Structures are given as C-alpha cells and as structure tokens.
Structure 1
C-alpha cells in the first residue's frame, strides 16, 4: 500500500492532464503507471473505468472476466463485484467502500477479498483513494490499486493451521498455553487444560483480575510486579509462584513468558504454565533431609566429643594420677609395684579398645579388606561385649563381587538397627541373619524387646529410621520395620544384586 501512496503523490497532477487528453503527457504518465507492480484502474464519479495500466490488463487476463478493452467504459463495481468469490457480504462492502470515497465521505478505502481466476482462486488487496480533476473540468477521480496477496494469505493460513495443531497438541498435555496484553490481568486466550488444573472454566480466566485473585497472597505483589513492569528490552522471562485452586489446593506454577512487540502497538505476552507442585514437594523433602543430615552430623560430632572428653579423657587423667602414685609406691614398697602396673596396663588396654570401637564406627576398615559377613560378625561381637547384650549372628555365603555401595549400605543399616536395639529395646538377645539368593541380599534383625510404633511422630522425625530407609532406597532395595509395643521389633531389608 505504501507504493500506491507514493505513486499517488508523485503523479496526481499528471493524471489530471491524462484525463484532459494532453496526448504527450498522457503517454508519459501511462508509461510511469505501467511500471507499477500494482494493478491500477481509475474511475470517475459515475464509477466508470477511464484508465487502466499494464498490470491491470494482465490481471484481467488471469481472471478471464473482461473483454479486449479490459473494462474501459464499464462500471467498476459491475466488474469487481462479479469476481468476488468470498460471498455477497464482501461484494457489498467493496461497492459501499468505493461509493464513500466518491462521495468524499472517506479519504481512502482498503479491503482484501478472494476472487476467481483462470488458474484458481486468488486473494486481492485493494487500496482506493480520490484526487480532483483540473479546475476547468472539475469532478473527482478515484485511483484503485489491486495487489495479489495470495502467497501471504497462504502463508498466514498455514501459520494459523500450525498454531491450531500446536494448540491441540498442548491440550493433550498438562501445559497450559495463554495469551494476553502486557499489563492486563485478563487472558485473551487460555488452554482448556486450565480447567482440569484449577477447577475454573476458561471463561472465568478471561474476566478482569481473575488471574490476580487466584495468586497466593504471599506471592501476588511480587508476581503482579513482574508481569506489569516489563523491561523495554527483555523478550522472555520465567516466573514461579503459587496459585489457589477451586478446591483450596495450593499449586506451584512455573510460567515461561514471551513478550511480542510490534511497532506502535501494545506488547502482548504469550506464556506456558506448568504444574511443578511435585517438583517443589521433592525439593522441600530434599531440603528437609539435608537439614536433618547436617543436624545428624553435628550430633555425631557432639557424641564423639562427649565420649572423648567425658570418658576417654577422664580415664587417661586417672591413669596419669595412678602413675604418680606408682612412682611414690615404688620407693616406699617396691613389692606392690607389679600389681599396680598390671592394673594400669588393663586400663590402657580398655582405652585402646574404646578408641578402636569409635574408629570402627566411623570407618569399618574390615568391610573393605574382609567383606560384609566378617565385618558384620566382628561388629556384632564388639557391640555385644561393650553393651553386655547377646547378639546371635548367622551369615551365609555371599557373592564375591558385591558392589561397594551395596555392602556399605547394608553394613550401615545393620549397624544403626543393632545400636537402636541395644540402646532402646531392653532385649537380652538380638538375632541377625544375612543371606543371599541369586537376585538379592536379605538382612533380618530381630529382638524381643519393648517394641514401638513405627509411625509415631518421634520415629518419623528421628533420623534413625529415615537414614536407613534412604540408604536402602538409594541402592534400589526395600526397607520394612515390623514392631508393636511389648512384642519386639523386626527389621527386614532386601537389596537387589542381579
């Protein structure tokens, strides 16, 4: 259309002379207009065609609806409305638009329509504008330019079909597409999936401020600011926030938004909402577990420090005092020296054993060098001796090439379960069995102690059972605790090895 406007400015005066039949200038202007790629006709106030260019003659040949004069002398609506194939409504709109320009009610008129042609349907865009004849002849002439926009229309149609196919594809997922003007809280379009996600109809989401009203109160100020205060340069942003469903559920949303900007138009936003509630829940569990693991590490450090200070340190101090006494006794009563030294030796041996036990709890070296069964048997023996409890360990033959992660996982789980039993069950005996089938390891630890309720809040929040569960699940195994008050406890673990 800009090309036609330029032609109109440059040759308007010359066209007047064409109509006045100035032969030399008429030929000049004819050649100028013939150079235009648009199909141009000029009509008078009676809507009769008084001038056509080369492109119009070629267009007439393509439509096959004009005689050898290419419409000269005929009324323009008679010709043009006859080739409009998009229905009588477009034909009437074309006739009325031209009439308004002739009457001076409008400066120009534009429309597009589909017309018939020899080679098949084609899309035409027209632009009509008026100019005056010379003062001698007076009257008004209308220049009408026609452009073939079939390729553009086909491309637009393909684009619309692609968009429709994409939207239908999205409607089969839990991703919610939406569109709205920048700074507007009312959706111009939103996918049907939003009804399944939140429980509200698509029409409700197209109401003013409905989207804002469903944002969680702790997020609404931040989110509305993000969507309202768009950077003049940013064309994409991502936001995470909570929304309230119709049934009161809190749903976490991840929204990917593209900002589309066009010259002299209000920016529009196109987005895709995704329900990330499960991911947020998993992140919350991970954070909570990390926090509890850190707390457990601190508790373990405190325990080791306490044992070093309250037990080993005091025992070493007592040995130091006893050595001073031995030194004094040696001078006064040498015959008593042997007995005192034997006592000190026994105490040093006990301290050595305690240091060895603590070291073994922190890192079981026997597990690496001897394997799972010998390491667990050794641990049971040492724990039974230090806690004055009977532990009956039965270990079967295990595959030689067990994965290190599996052996460490099973050992730590048995270690935790046995320490719990020795500390809390009150049982005089604990039975441990470790066997292997072709497909899995099987560990069972049983006591006939006081028992407990596995689902009790103290147990679910404590890290003992949780850490064992996490360890076993990490290697793809199953962990089960069977316990009742006054009926003992059984821990059953299976870990796949094939």
Structure 2
C-alpha cells in the first residue's frame, strides 16, 4: 500500500520513494505541514525544505540505507508552513520486488520537536544543577579551609602559649585568655554545626519539618542579623520524607537567596497546613528583580526550587519587581492514606 492509501488521520508525514530515491507518493499531511500541494513536494522538491545544515546528513543517511538495503533512521529539521523548522524523526523501510530487487522505500517523518526540546532542557537543567551543587560544595570547602582552619590554628596556638614557660602571664591574664579560647572554640563548634545542617538537616529527621523550619529561621536571623518572622501552623507531625526534605530545601534556598541578593531587612516565612495541602510562603522587603522568561527559567535557585516542588507533585511561583521585594510560594498536595 502506498502512502496515499494510509489513514488520513495519521499525523506523520508518510511517503514512498522509487529506486531512483525520488518521492512518488505523499500523504495529505504533507500539504498541511508544508502549506503547498503534494505535487510540489514530489521528486526531490521536498528537499528544499530541509534545513541547510541537515541536508548533507539526510543525503548521506539515505544513500547509506539505499546501498545497504537497511532501515533508515535519521533526525533532520524540516521547514513548516509558518517558516519554522521542526525536528523530524525520519524512518523508512526498504521495499523489494518478488525477485528481491530494491524498488524503493516506504517511510514517515514524525515531529519530535517537543520531545527534543524537553530532552535538551532536562539535560541542561541536570548540568546546571550539578554545577550549582559543585559550587555549593566548593563554597563549604572554602569556609572550612579559609575560615575554620584558620581559627582552629589560632585556637591551637593560644593553647600552646598557655603552656610555654617563657610566656609569663598573671592569673587574671591567664583566665582572660582561657575565656577567649573557650569562646573561640564554641564559635567554631557552632559554625561547624551550621555547615553540617546545610549539608544534612538532622533536626528535620529527628524533630520534623515544623521544628526544622523554625530552627532554620532562627539561625539565619542570628547569623545574618535579619528580622525573620516565622509562622508555622497546622502542619502534620508525620510527613513523607520527600515532602519534608523538599519543602525544607525550598525554604533554605529562598533564605539563602535573600541573604545573598535582596539587601532585605525584614523576612517572613510561613508554613501552613490544610486538609490536603501544605503551603510555603517566603517574602522579603528587599530590592527584588525584574521577572522575565530568562531569569524565570535559567536562575539556578529558582530552577532548583521549582523542580524540587514539581518532583513531589507541587506547584511553585515567584513574584518580584525592582524595589518591590520578592514573594516565593509553593504548594504541595498531601495524599491521604
């Protein structure tokens, strides 16, 4: 059966060729796709609509399939009636006579533009999230090396000085230095705990999401001298691990962005539960930013938060403007057992 005899409802561009590689039959979908009659696509005329960069790929692939009498499978861009190029998956099977001679090919072109765009977006997102993860690891490594290590060295030197016979200290001086070293040790310990919680929030595991969010807000407030208002109400004690972790990370990422970029003085974090959902709202009175497609889709922080909530069936939105602060909202459904 030729391409014209196949069902008209098939959305693919169906075709047959003869042994001189020219197309002899086309489905009606060719007219809808190209905007010209099937007659104007017969022979080799349809090749005028192949993207110039893909023409050599098509000719080489078709020739190889023709010479080897094997199935053809190739991806090329084809110009649509609106002058937009669409990615097409071209598949074709050899046709043979009763004597086994090659008489042509029967094939189809399937529009895979959306699938290709999604695959490229997923690959791009994966790469950028890995880059962000490595960047965060580098930041923590720098803090450990440049800050913690230096203060540990200072602590060690201070302890050694107390034990050196040539260093003559009065009792009040010795007590003062011991107190200073104790304070330094406590500060180092607190900062190590903070870095540890950034890597793995142990309070989330042992005390639950509500306590972990409150603790996070207190730490950010004290560490960065921000007025952080935290409201947590009606949140179930027991939540799926993925829900708790991704809501916590979204709040954590939001607060980190505020600290890094907003120049805000006041921050509000609200985590509230309803019958079938949990809502997270993080807002600030900072400088904000202009929302456009580029920073909605490419800002690593926004991408990470959106993908986190989407992975558990939730929704994510951001509203901001120059000198208008930023509002992050997330909703996660709860499946009732």
Same fold (TM over 0.5): yes
Q: Is the 8 A contact 2:69 2:102 kept in 1?
A: no
Q: Is the 8 A contact 2:228 2:268 kept in 1?
A: yes
1:455 partnered with 2:260: no
Secondary structure of 2:109's aligned partner = strand
Runs of 4+ that moved beyond 4 A: 163-166, 231-234, 456-460
1:285 partnered with 2:121: yes
Q: Is the 8 A contact 1:397 1:436 kept in 2?
A: yes
* 2:131 aligns with one of 276, 292, 295: 295
The Cα of 1:322 is off from its aligned counterpart by 2.0
Deviations 1:427-450 (Å, cap 9, x if unpaired)?
222111111111211111121222
Q: Is the 8 A contact 2:281 2:327 kept in 1?
A: yes
TM-score, normalised via structure 2 length: 0.92
Over 3 Å counting, the alpha-carbon distance change for 1:497 and 1:275 in structure 2 is same
1:468 partnered with 2:315: no
Q: Provide the rounded CA distance (Å) in 1 between the counterparts of 2:4 and 2:269.
A: 62
The Cα of 1:424 is off from its aligned counterpart by 2.1
Q: Provide the rounded CA distance (Å) in 2 between the counterparts of 1:321 and 1:359.
A: 25
The Cα of 1:457 is off from its aligned counterpart by 4.2
Q: Provide the rounded CA distance (Å) in 2 between the counterparts of 1:441 and 1:264.
A: 67
Q: Is the 8 A contact 1:392 1:432 kept in 2?
A: yes
Unmatched runs of 5 consecutive residues or more in structure 2: none
Match in the other structure for 1:243: 78
Q: Provide the rounded CA distance (Å) in 2 between the counterparts of 1:182 and 1:337.
A: 99
Q: Provide the rounded CA distance (Å) in 1 between the counterparts of 2:332 and 2:254.
A: 16
Match in the other structure for 2:41: 205
Q: Provide the rounded CA distance (Å) in 2 between the counterparts of 1:402 and 1:378.
A: 18
Match in the other structure for 2:185: 348
Over 3 Å counting, the alpha-carbon distance change for 1:164 and 1:197 in structure 2 is closer
1:195 partnered with 2:31: yes
1:148-159 equivalences in 2 (<5 Å): none
Q: Provide the rounded CA distance (Å) in 1 between the counterparts of 2:150 and 2:167.
A: 27
Over 3 Å counting, the alpha-carbon distance change for 1:326 and 1:416 in structure 2 is same
Match in the other structure for 2:164: 328
1:423-442 equivalences in 2 (<5 Å): 423-442=260-279
1:393 partnered with 2:225: no
1:312 partnered with 2:148: yes
Secondary structure of 2:83's aligned partner = coil
Match in the other structure for 1:142: none
Match in the other structure for 1:220: 55
Secondary structure of 1:493's aligned partner = strand
The Cα of 1:177 is off from its aligned counterpart by 1.5
Secondary structure of 1:212's aligned partner = helix
Match in the other structure for 2:255: 418
TM-score, normalised via structure 1 length: 0.63
Over 3 Å counting, the alpha-carbon distance change for 1:448 and 1:232 in structure 2 is closer
Match in the other structure for 2:334: 497
Match in the other structure for 1:364: 201
Over 3 Å counting, the alpha-carbon distance change for 1:273 and 1:165 in structure 2 is closer
Q: Is the 8 A contact 1:182 1:227 kept in 2?
A: no
The Cα of 1:329 is off from its aligned counterpart by 7.0
Root-mean-square deviation over aligned CA pairs: 2.2
Match in the other structure for 2:6: 167
Q: Provide the rounded CA distance (Å) in 2 between the counterparts of 1:497 and 1:209.
A: 57
Secondary structure of 1:405's aligned partner = helix
Which structure has more relative contact order (CA 8 Å, sep 6+)? It is: 2
Secondary structure of 1:301's aligned partner = helix
The Cα of 1:391 is off from its aligned counterpart by 1.2
Deviations 1:216-265 (Å, cap 9, x if unpaired)?
12221121111123366544232111112243211111122110122274
Secondary structure of 2:6's aligned partner = helix
Q: Provide the rounded CA distance (Å) in 2 between the counterparts of 1:255 and 1:370.
A: 56
